[in-house]
């Protein structure tokens, strides 16, 4: 859907943000357009508008961006197409309707709508070197992607995922025997007639994809999946010291107690993924209701809610990017829900995932290992399972929050009832469906609660600086900035020294 001139004027009042870039282009298409094209394509997409002059010294949004228009709009449009179809960038992801001219009768503007690029063709970069020409977006505009960010984009192109990579010099001696015995016992109970049950440990792990040999080079050893799932803690930390696993129970916190229970690297357990998953899953589901139900005269304690919570945890594990420069597999339990956070951005746009888009797991071998013992549905069905369970119970729709600045994704599962409206009009904030709202201070997950507070504060006070928002909700500036980055309905106004946030 094309922007109108009125739409553009409204956007300018909000200023540039993650999805909007304005440029002065009186006679020619500026070279920086292609950097913005790369940045938007590699982040969440957005619009580039040519014909806007920015006065960074202006104190108010209405004076910061001035519509000047461009000369020879049709020629500049043609020049842009000639360049984008040449060798200026590595790939053109635009179609004809993405580039168009908007006019108010006096001023012509050239709008370039850049969609989010498919993960199979990222990175989109300027020139011939992805490490020099790849850009991304943050609240300050375009920036050169780091080497780690470029490598992550390249890794995601691999249709076979990341976790089949052979880790040379890592052998069966690096497998934790107790963990592997526990897994094999669970496998045998789930698959009593399976032929793999008769195999020795090495052959069994090979069939799972946890041990591999490259026929071309002769190199063999544990795969990334094998070490991460069943390895001893020290070898895992030797290879993946960038990754931390952390579970916190914050369901009964007080000002003096930040959590009631925690599972992290403390020397009391071998910190592999299988141990983390089994230890934490029991804690997550311990308090969930178990209605009395019999099947074949045997009580069944599992419920759709139990399965959905496990799916959220499975999704965290199979979609994590364990090769990032830093990241935390974070699971938080609160009195009213759960929060799952993993390193690595989404392969698909959030909207497509909610529609049932099938995004391939980054770690398909680990996904298979979990599925073979009953954890995780078939590929692509995990998130729809969660959505259906939450909808069937009348709870607010699960929130999937992508932070492309911190390169992480959070799934928030709240037990708050859908359609519940509490409080007066000023304190009621929309959550869940369009008609539902909750009062500030009503108990929900900590992250969601803070987001609600931020949204309410901005509704009442309009534009505010990060420091003002942080003081109001009682958080540090860096954490507040992180939460603002998660909010798709918030945009920035002003320059670096006078940046403010407002609702779109």
Question: What domains can you pick out in the chain, each with its CATH number?
Answer: 5-155 (3.30.950.30), 172-415 (3.30.565.60), 417-504 (1.10.10.10)
Lowest average pLDDT, out of 19-28, 77-86, 303-312, goes to 19-28
Mean pLDDT of the chain: 87
**In which band, very low, low, confident or very high, does the pLDDT at 313 lie, cut at 50, 70 and 90?**
very high
pLDDT tens-digit series, residues 424-459: 444 344 444 433 333 333 444 677 778 878 887 786
CB neighbours of 338 closer than 8 A, spacing ≥ 6? Answer: 284, 309, 312, 331, 332, 412, 413, 445
Other CB atoms within 10 A of residue 288 CB: 14
Judged against a pLDDT cut of 90, whether residue 177 lies above it is answered with: yes
Q: Look at residue 301 in the predicted model and tell me its pLDDT.
A: 66
The per-residue pLDDT for 305 is 93
Burial (Cβ within 10 Å: 0-12, 13-18, ≥19) of residue 196: middle
Kindly report which listed range (275-279, 359-363, 410-414) carries the lowest average pLDDT score. Answer: 359-363
Question: Is residue 116 over pLDDT 90?
Answer: yes
Chain-centre distance for alpha carbon 248:
20
Torsion region of 150: left, alpha or beta (phi above 0 gives left; psi -120 to 50 gives alpha): alpha
Mean pLDDT of 132-140: 90
How far does Cα 142 stand from its chain's mean position? 19
What distance separates the 2 farthest-apart alpha carbons in the chain?
Answer: 80
Whether the pLDDT of residue 297 is over 60: the answer is: no
Q: Are 260 and 248 in contact (CB under 8 A)?
A: no
Tell me, yes or no, if the pTM score tops 0.75: yes
Determine contact, residues 109/49, Cβ cutoff 8 Å.
Answer: yes
pLDDT tens for each residue of 478-501: 788 888 887 877 888 776 667 888
The yes-or-no verdict on residue 379 having pLDDT over 80 is no
Where does the pLDDT of residue 78 fall: very low under 50, low under 70, confident under 90, or very high at 90 and above?
A: very high
Alpha-carbon distance of 54 to 73, in angstroms, equals 19
pLDDT of residue 422: 39
Rounded average pLDDT over 282-293: 80
When pLDDT is averaged across residues 205-214 and rounded to a whole number, the result is 96
pLDDT at 403 over 80: yes
Residue 79 has a pLDDT of: 95
């Amino acid at each position: 859907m094309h922007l109108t001139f009125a739409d553009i004027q409204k956007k300018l009042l909000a200023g540039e943000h993650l999805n909007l870039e304005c440029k002065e282009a009186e006679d020619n298409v500026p070279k920086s357009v292609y950097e913005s094209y790369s940045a938007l394509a590699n982040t969440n997409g957005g619009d580039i508008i040519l014909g806007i002059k920015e006065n960074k010294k202006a104190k108010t949004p209405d004076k910061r961006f001035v519509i000047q228009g461009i000369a020879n709009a049709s020629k500049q449009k043609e020049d842009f197409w000639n360049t984008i179809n040449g060798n200026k960038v590595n790939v053109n992801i635009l179609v004809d309707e993405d580039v168009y001219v908007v006019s108010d009768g006096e001023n012509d503007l050239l709008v370039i709508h850049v969609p989010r690029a498919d993960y199979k063709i990222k990175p989109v970069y300027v020139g011939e070197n992805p490490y020099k020409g790849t850009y991304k977006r943050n609240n300050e505009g375009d920036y050169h992607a780091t080497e780690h960010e470029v490598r992550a984009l390249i890794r995601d192109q691999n249709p076979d995922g990341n976790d089949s990579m052979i880790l040379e010099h890592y052998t069966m001696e690096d497998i934790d025997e107790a963990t592997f015995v526990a897994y094999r016992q669970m496998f045998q109970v789930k698959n009593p007639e399976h032929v793999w049950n008769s195999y020795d440990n090495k052959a069994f792990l090979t069939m799972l994809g946890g041990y591999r040999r490259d026929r071309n080079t002769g190199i063999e050893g544990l795969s990334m999946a094998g070490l991460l799932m069943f390895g001893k803690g020290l070898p895992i930390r030797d290879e993946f010291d960038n990754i931390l696993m952390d579970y916190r129970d914050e369901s009964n916190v007080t000002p003096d107690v930040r959590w009631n229970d925690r599972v992290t690297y403390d020397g009391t357990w071998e910190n592999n993924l299988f141990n983390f998953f089994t230890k934490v899953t029991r804690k997550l589901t311990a308090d969930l209701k178990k209605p009395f139900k019999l099947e074949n005269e045997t009580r069944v304690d599992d419920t759709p809610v139990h399965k959905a919570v496990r799916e959220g945890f499975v999704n965290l594990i199979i979609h994590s990017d364990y090769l990032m420069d830093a990241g935390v597999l974070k699971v938080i339990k609160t009195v009213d829900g759960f929060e799952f956070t993993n390193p690595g951005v989404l392969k698909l746009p959030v909207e497509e995932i909610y529609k049932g888009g099938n995004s391939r797991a980054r770690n398909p071998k680990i996904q298979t290992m979990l599925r073979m013992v009953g954890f995780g549905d078939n590929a692509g069905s995990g998130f729809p399972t969660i959505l259906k369970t939450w909808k069937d119970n009348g709870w607010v729709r699960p929130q999937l929050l992508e932070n492309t600045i911190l390169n992480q994704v959070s799934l928030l599962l709240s037990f708050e009832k859908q359609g519940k409206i509490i409080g007066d009009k000023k304190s009621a904030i929309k959550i869940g469906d369009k008609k539902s709202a909750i009062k500030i201070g009503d108990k929900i997950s900590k992250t969601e609660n803070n987001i609600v507070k931020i949204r309410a504060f901005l509704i009442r006070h309009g534009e505010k600086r990060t420091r003002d928002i942080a003081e109001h909700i009682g958080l540090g500036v860096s954490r507040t900035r992180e939460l603002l980055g998660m909010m798709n309905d918030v945009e920035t106004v002003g320059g670096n020294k006078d940046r403010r946030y407002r609702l779109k």
